[in-house]
Amino acid sequence: MGIFNRTQPNDVLFLQPVRLADEKIPRGKVRMLYCDVSGKVYSSIVSRTVYERARDSAAGMAHRRKSFATIGLETAPGQFIPATVEVGQKEVWALEHILEHALKNGRLPDILKKYLKLIIRRNESERETIISEYRKRRRQAQPEATPKVLERLPYYQEDDIEVSMPIYKAEYGYPLIVLKILLSDEHTPHNVRKLLFLDSDGDMAIIEVPTRLVRKMEIELTGHSVKKRGNTCVLISNNPDGHMLSYMSISRQQKKSLDTLPRYFEETGSSKQRVSLAVKAVITRAKDSLSPQSR
């Protein structure tokens, strides 16, 4: 990473959490894949609070339908705090290809490197304010030191990692196909439930929705299944008033294919896999059913 220089800190672009094959990450830690301004790709073990802060900020930007990237502001050698920055369509294109090349071979072509500085330095004039506010919130929440990177490795080959969910994705492809209602844990607020979904791009991710929406979904899903006497999937559309539920009848084979996705996600932690023709058919029908007002 080089010698730390406060006048020119080595801020980075967070890409996504990853996991080495058979790696046992310490409790409360996450391995993050990221790259610096020069285009070098690394992985580091960071505090889960850093990841959760990045994830929550990203979710807020996505909810406001803003295109964004997640950066790490270096506060000391190997220590970062997360921040989200709004980006334009060219940067969104670059982010998608940066992640693709980072996962494929750990090297970025020159055409992408020119975007890194633009993204990472986007909020340079505000970085000290962002860092100060973050530290203040941390002190108020708990008297714990700034999370510290425990280990940094050069990029490793794709066969050695299991990919988790991208935290920077600018916008999910609606409608979302609900795959599973996830169990709550001690960190889940009582008025929120988590859903595992498949978006219309074929990516899986987790979304937090109000508990009342899940209750409504369970009741209406039962009624729809009984009325149609068959299998049903739940679609979530997005509009200015929030999330909107709809229901679509599917075949037994389509239902069986959709049911394999949560198991794959839970076993591997991967948000991407090649979807079957049956799942592609569901995605196509779901997109066709989406009203122009919800697009």
Q: pLDDT tens, 42-101?
A: 888 888 888 888 887 777 777 777 888 888 888 776 778 888 888 888 888 888 888 888
39 Rama class: left (phi>0) / alpha (psi -120 to 50) / beta = left
CA-to-CA distance for 165 and 178, rounded, in angstroms? 16
Give residue 16's pLDDT. 83
pLDDT digits (tens, 9 = 90+) for 266-278: 766 555 567 789 9
Contact 17, 33 (CB under 8 A): yes
Reference 49, options 81, 16, 13, 15; nearest CA is 81
Bridge partners, 197 (sequence order):
178, 205
CA-to-CA distance for 103 and 105, rounded, in angstroms? 6
Instruction: For the chain, list residues with pLDDT below 50.
Output: 1-6, 143-151, 156-168, 293-295
CA-to-CA distance for 125 and 87, rounded, in angstroms? 16
**Residue 79 is encoded by which pair of tokens?**
């220590």
Give residue 233's pLDDT. 92
Q: What is the pTM of this model?
A: 0.51
**In Å, how far are 5, 87, 212, 273 from 96, measured between CA atoms?**
30, 13, 34, 16
Reference 61, options 35, 32, 30, 82; nearest CA is 82
Name residue, tokens 């697009």. 295
242 Rama class: left (phi>0) / alpha (psi -120 to 50) / beta = left
Question: How do the domains of the chain map onto residue ranges?
Answer: 12-163, 176-294
